[in-house]
Structure 1
Amino acid sequence: MLKNKTFGSALIIAGTTIGAGMLAMPLTSAGMGFGYTILLLVGLWTLLVYSGLLFVEVYQTADQLNDGVATLAEKYFGVPGRILATFSLLVLLYALSAAYITGGGSLLSGLPTALGMEVLPLKTSIIIFTVVLGSFVVIGTKGVDGITRLLFIGKLLAFAFVLFMMLPKVATDNLMALPLDYAFVISAAPIFFTSFGFHVIMASINSYLDGNVAQFRKAILIGTAIPLIAYLVWQLATHGVLSQSEFVRILQAEPTLNGLVNAVREITGSNIMGEVVRIFSALALITSFLGVMLGVFEGLGDLFKRYHLPHNRLSLTLAAFLPPLVFALFYPKGFITALSYAGLLCAFYCLILPIGLAWRTRQKNPQLAYRVMGGNIALVFALMIGIVIMVIPFLIQTGYLPTVAS
């Protein structure tokens, strides 16, 4: 099992998925209530598993195992398709990685306080987080696979301890709370959307599994089922233990991952509990950061190769890490903002793009061995939802929808 590539791929998908999106959930769902949060989660999981399987369908027609999504987009939509795919992928991944670096730096800066030491400067924490974790990405997929397996075990142990401590404190009244504003459910959709944004590593997974459709499909189903279960239980714990009014008050004062740690510590009255949440949050960020940066390397490598630019490890490392690092250093409070706009781009790259690719693939290759169920009707329905999710951030910006977190 430990040497099984399908299992390893599923863990990479799960590790990429369980990251900043999960940690942002309590920050954005405090005013939504438990019931509507669960409905939103299950609905988006169904939608994004469907679009992930569309990539499996399209990759059956790839000319080479290591073809990136942009190469497939150029194959079916020409140069404009490549430009759109490359732009959306890189901006999405830069936004996600910036959010992860910012969140990781925030958690690392507060870590010394648990040992009675002074807080580490945020910029120093951000640089340490990026350099140390980025080295594993530079090694490649095998390096990420190895460390992900190790960190995933630690993440599960920390998560189990958090649940062991929090679930007995769940109060039914807290779970019955209704949304403070039903429009919050709509406003939160783009951020929750990123919670299942594993699609950025589809090219790497396809290459790693040698284009095996059955293994690819199984990796997606297993790799997304793990996060869904974790998200559902996480929501049960946070919404059940923390009363809506208290939780909203604390997070409004400090809408960061440190704020989440402090909220758990204050309401549970346990310093140990707060630090375990910090450890779990850090491990979740790290595994997600590794997967996303793997996607950045794949996207940049595909772009540089196409236009005959130097695509050695040094050039890819500089191009991959500098933009999100600069954002994190000079806009350290941009965690939620980065995730919100990442949700917009995620809707395009993870939903609208695979729908378009699947549509053209079915037209040109009617005899594919594997096709996702639902036919073209499902494609149209998913497309409509994707467009709505892309519009939501603009409706929030113009004041038509409420902001879920500041």
Structure 2
Amino acid sequence: MNTKLMGSALIISGTALGAGMLAIPMVLAQFGLLYGTLLMVLIWFGTTYSALLLLEATIKSGGGLGLNSIARKTLGKGGQLLTNGLLYALLICLLMAYILGAADLLVQAASALGLELTFMHSQIIFTLTTGVIVACGTGVIDKLNRLLFFVMLASLLMTLAVLLPEFSTDNLSQVSNSDHIGLIKTSAVLFTSFGFMVVIPSLVSYNSEASDKQLRNMVIVGSIIPLVCYLCWLFAVVGNLPAGQLKEFASVSELMAGFEHDAPWVGGFLSVFTGLALLTSFFGVAMSLFHQNSDTFNQNRVVTYVLTFVLPLVGAILAADQFLSVLAYAGIILVFLAVFVPLAMVYKLRLANALPERYTAEGGNVMMVFALLFGGFLLASQVI
């Protein structure tokens, strides 16, 4: 895998590693590590396969900067309108969640420097500044994301090293909530934590010279990295904090404060890690929305910038203190967009026997049925 493809895999990983890194310990730890880990692996597998279905649809339809063009070519006008509606709702919800999390960290950083910064002002500063970087294009995001991602991994390793002396194996077996229905209800938040599929059309276009096999490996490598990070993070958090305490956290700052009580040195590393995790996710999702707007409205960069960032910013300002709620809403939308829409696209392409020599997701009809059942499971988890 060349440098450009590796950078693209890191964009996939960085898009996934964001709000989920903060939400997973808060929603999973109370149910115990065994069941939490099994559910996370199931969600990862289903999400990765759905992403491969979208990759197949993108390649066989001739690609495009956003899902708008792919949906039009595969599902027709009605499917295009439905896909666009779902995509806009999803990306705006995700950007709102990332803005809320990043603003919380920015207020803390300003306070540590002796500066007074309101939550609203931090939201505005973060969104408009990072938006300029996104508007510069995929190449700029790729190069910046590589640097941020390696710093983020280094800070995660340092965080785990600092937490290791306080690690308690007794905590690993703790279960403060044995409600398995409640565990299943967390599926939407977990699914959102692997919500990287929105960047695939942009990355296929960015790597236009790559082979189908290379693009497939890019998606798989990009999805495995966040799974490993999530599992390491979950074990570290559960091993250092009682499960009953974790389920009381509602924000990034509360989670960090819980660590700093017993391990004061962890605050700096954790701040860097959580901040960069949110930033890399924001870049990936914002890039997808920017390209979607560019593909749909065909306007210049200034107009596309305004279309991309104003609505999520207004939504985040109005939805203060709703970090986990926004993620849950995004999870429900993502089920339709990330599972059922790629499934419908691939079904129509295979039915028409379109470009059979190009990449076809593994598993045939059996895995198509699995994807359908997986989507049904995720929807059921929200209406139990």
> TM-score normalised to the size of structure 2?
0.95
User: Matched residue of 2:31: which SS?
Assistant: coil
SS at match of 2:379: helix
- The code of the aligned residue for 2:21 comes to M
- Amino acid of the residue matched to residue 215 of structure 1? Q
Does the aligned pair in 2 maintain the 1:104–1:286 contact within 8 Å?
A: yes
Which portions of structure 1, spanning 4 or more consecutive aligned residues, are displaced by more than 6 angstroms? none
Deviations 1:2-40 (A, max 9, x none): x72111111111111111112111221232211111111
Q: Contact conserved, 1:209 with 1:215, CA < 8 A, in 2?
A: no
- 1:151 offset after TM fit, Å? 0.8
* Aligned mate of 2:315, from 327, 335, 342: 327
Query: In structure 1, how many angstroms separate the alpha carbons of the residues matched to 2:273 and 2:116?
Result: 19
Superposition deviation, residue 375 in structure 1: 1.3
**Superposed, which structure 2 residues align to 1:299-338 within 5 Å?**
299-305=292-298, 311-338=299-326
Find out whether 1:146 has 2:139 as its counterpart.
no
Tell me, in whole angstroms, the C-alpha distance in 2 between the residues paired with 1:222 and 1:159: 19
Alignment match, 2:175: 178
**How far apart are residue 119 of structure 1 and its match?**
4.9
Name the SS for the 2:358 alignment partner: coil
Which residue in the other structure is 2:227 paired with?
Answer: 228
Q: How does 1:143-292 map to 2 (within 5 A)?
A: 143-178=140-175, 180=177, 181-210=179-208, 212-249=211-248, 251=249, 255-266=250-261, 268-270=262-264, 272-292=265-285
Deviation at 1:275, TM superposition (A): 3.0
Q: Please give the per-residue CA displacement for 1:234-276, whole angstroms capped at 9, x wherever unaligned.
A: 0110011111123334x1xxx111111111112x241x31232
Cα offset for 1:118? 5.3
CA contact (8 A) 2:50 2:338 kept: yes
Residue 373 of structure 2 aligns to which amino acid in structure 1? M
CA contact (8 A) 1:174 1:243 kept: yes
Gaps of 5+ in 2: none
Matched residues in 1 for 2:304 and 2:266: separation?
A: 39
CA distance in 2, matches of 1:33, 1:141: 40
Q: Where does 1:32-47 land on structure 2 (aligned, <5 Å)?
A: 32-47=31-46
Q: Take 2:242 and 2:85, find their aligned partners in 1: how far apart are those partners?
A: 42
Query: Taking structure 1 as reference, are residues 36 and 69 closer, same or farther at Cα in structure 2, changes over 3 Å only?
Result: same
1:375 to 364, 374, 383: 364
8 A contact 1:70–1:81 mirrored in 2: no
Number of the residue aligned with 1:56:
55
2:290, 2:304 within 8 Å by CA — same for their partners in 1? yes
Q: Distance in 1 between matches of 2:263 and 2:147?
A: 31
Taking the aligned partners of 1:274 and 1:28, their CA distance within structure 2 comes to: 21
Aligned partners of 2:286 and 2:5: how far apart in 1? 20
1:179: Cα distance to partner? 5.3
Q: Distance in 2 between matches of 1:382 and 1:304?
A: 32
Q: Could you list the per-position Cα deviations for residues 139-159 of structure 1 after superposition, in whole angstroms to 9, with x for gaps in the alignment?
A: 010111111011112111111
1:122 counterpart = 2:119: yes
Give the deviation of 1:67 after TM superposition.
Answer: 5.0
Residue pair 2:61, 2:74 contacting (<8 A) in 1 also: no
Query: 1:291 is aligned with what amino acid?
Result: G
Deviation at 1:338, TM superposition (A): 1.0
Letter in structure 2 aligned against 1:176? S
Establish whether residue 135 from structure 1 lines up as the match of residue 132 from structure 2. yes
Q: CA RMSD in A?
A: 1.7
CA contact (8 A) 1:30 1:244 kept: yes
